[in-house]
Amino acid sequence: MSRVEKVNEQLKDDLAVIVNSDVYLDGGLITIIRVKCAPDMSNANVNISVLPENLSGTALKLLRKNASAFTRKLSLKSRMRKVPRLTFGIDNQERYVAKMDKVFAEIRMDEKNDLGKLWRDDGEKQEEIDKE
């Protein structure tokens, strides 16, 4: 594992603890999904997930507003000389995966319905019956 990958994991873990203790989102849950630092460690993109999704905007505003406080806490908690500047964003990958799962389920249902049309209840092929 490279140094940047180690820093990404450490920042993710530390940020999860800080956000969990310092940010209150009424009726919501903020999860740190991924942290990706630039190779020079100057910036870090932090992808979050928010449940329920309708609180995503509120959560993002809270996190962006408190980004400098998070950076200070990270600098006290970690041994890094310089903590990267944090940029928060919503992780849409989960939403995309859920959408794709729904599409595949619909395809499976369509295939199942099409296959059901080929066979009668007694197992005889419908095409053979139609030929008679």
Output the pTM of the full model. 0.72
Quick check: helix, strand or coil at residue 85? strand
Output the DSSP codes for the chain: --HHHHHHHHHHHHHHHHHHHH---TT-EEEEEEEEE-TTSSEEEEEEEEESGGGHHHHHHHHHHTHHHHHHHHHHHS--SSPPEEEEEE--HHHHHHHHHHHHHHHHHHHHHHHHHHB-TTS-BHHHHHH-
Pick the CATH number of 3-91 from 1.10.3720.10, 3.40.50.300, 3.40.50.980, 3.30.300.20: 3.30.300.20
- Radius of gyration of the chain from its Cα atoms, rounded to whole angstroms: 24
pLDDT band for position 97 (50/70/90)?
Answer: confident
pLDDT band for position 125 (50/70/90)?
Answer: low
pLDDT band for position 38 (50/70/90)?
Answer: very high
The reported pLDDT for the residue numbered 120 is 53
Which range, of 3-12, 70-79, 94-103, 117-126, averages the lowest pLDDT?
117-126
Residue type, 81: R
The pLDDT tens digits of the residues spanning 56-84 come to 999 999 999 999 999 999 999 887 888 99
Residue found under tokens 């990706």: 36
pLDDT band for position 94 (50/70/90)?
Answer: confident
